[in-house]
Structure 1
């Protein structure tokens, strides 16, 4: 499990590096996005990954890796939006956004470690295509919860689904690197 922790950190470092660079380019313009908009962005990326996995022809020269990185970063943005709320104007410096990013990663990594302990690293025997399907399933769940104004009767909330999507994406990126 120590190896998983190191691999997880390496993937997140790549994602965070891109997030910080985009913050330098665009600022925190993403802070105006409502959760359904972020969910839709994640959905587009997951659908593209599935298409790449199923289709022989690619018309855009970007592969699965960049799309999984995008899913991770959009999910972290969504978790920050849940915590801070949506704003009308960008309101975070790169430093503030990076601190919030790292906070959400720490919470999500702890969840991964707890589940990984209980499941015995079962993800290592999964296919990337299965992880993609699980992400799409989580997205459909999130869309249903959003359509129900965030209410669930017995299920975990939107935040837990975003965290699972982050973890599935990290696992997929680890697999793609190996």
Structure 2
């Protein structure tokens, strides 16, 4: 043990590290490592862009004169979400559901959600137990995260309940188109 402390401590000399001067700006360096979206993410962006244009430019169904049939939209910050009333096309509701753009479904029969099998099954079970006449299905969703090489799926919470009447928003109007190149950043902020 005494031999351990016999040697004096001598610090090692450090080598000088050469750091080259910065010749590029940060903005230029971002352009050098620019990534592109793969086929799957590009297709997803194109599809959500088409759906969003449809909802933003057609806030109310033109197929019916009755304001309590078919679809209307919920006006949110920069985009619209679908509110499916009785008589709404099930394919429209299913598509909006898969992209996180479905706000509420009002139904008596469940036909509006027939293209969403797991939800339709849960609704039919709920309907059999409660014996109501008008039901609502409310969707709380966090939008998808669109990355260069993958798509993180949407997270949805679904609430099913009974209602006496439909809640129709006061503001049902057109919104501006979201440009296709702005879609990933737009939904990242939601």
Higher CA-based Rg: 2
State TM-score, norm by structure 2.
Answer: 0.26
More helix by share: 1
More strand by share: 2
State TM-score, norm by structure 1.
Answer: 0.27
